[in-house]
Amino acid sequence: MVSMISRTGRQLQRYNQGCRQVVGCIPYRYKSGTSNDKELEVLLISSQKGQSKMMFPKGGWEIDESIEEAAARETFEEAGVQGDVEFELGNWMFKSKRYGTFYEGFMFSLLVTEQLACWPERDVRTRRWMTVGEARDVCQHVWMKEALDELVCRLTSSKQPEEDVSHCSLS
């Protein structure tokens, strides 16, 4: 059963050498156009600090869940979508502008299978499907843009043998 209340507090948060560990997803889908080509769309959410600041859903990885469970939970809580957590896009170290502390962030791809009308943070966030180009333009975090580039590389290389996608790795 899925909770309609976002987890709060830091008592269960994971840390690595003093760095808080956060995890998130780049939710994506294919929009069928008028041609046989499918256009990739990604879902961004607004920051709680302002509707104009857009990013991919992410949040704290807690000690009572796997990294994939945390990624799916954060995506559900913040963006109101569910789907299949597919593959890790990488991990990055970054400094919080708000708190001035370092974080270790992990990002995954999530193929969206369901978009919900009701989700825990629907009153404090907006969500918007965008093309990859639009997402690159509005995403607030460099490390998330790098994760997006990795997603695009992995998806466009998915029909090639595994050893041929090694050039995609950014982290």
Number of structural domains (the chain) is 1
Assess if residue 76 is contained within a domain: yes
Assess if residue 138 is contained within a domain: yes
Residues with Cβ within 8 Å of 106's Cβ and at least 6 positions away in sequence, in order, are 21, 22, 23, 24, 61, 67, 71, 88, 90, 91
Question: Has residue 163 got a pLDDT over 60?
Answer: no
Cα distances (angstroms) measured from residue 104 to each of 31, 73, 143: 32, 18, 11
CB atoms within 10 A of CB 28: 23
Assess if residue 96 is contained within a domain: yes
Assess if residue 36 is contained within a domain: yes
Question: Has residue 160 got a pLDDT over 70?
Answer: no
Instruction: Judge contact between 13 and 20, C-beta under 8 A.
Output: yes
Assess if residue 49 is contained within a domain: yes
Instruction: Give the model's pLDDT for residue 48.
Output: 79
Q: Which domain holds residue 63?
A: 15-159
Strand 19-32 vs strand 15-16: parallel, antiparallel, or unpaired? antiparallel
Token representation of residue 95? 């400094």
Assess if residue 144 is contained within a domain: yes
For residue 109, give the CATH number of its domain: 3.90.79.10
Q: What is the pLDDT of residues 65-122, one digit of tens each?
A: 999 999 999 999 999 999 999 999 999 998 887 777 889 999 999 999 999 999 999 9
Assess if residue 165 is contained within a domain: no
CA angle 128–85–115, rounded 5-degree value: 35
Assess if residue 10 is contained within a domain: no
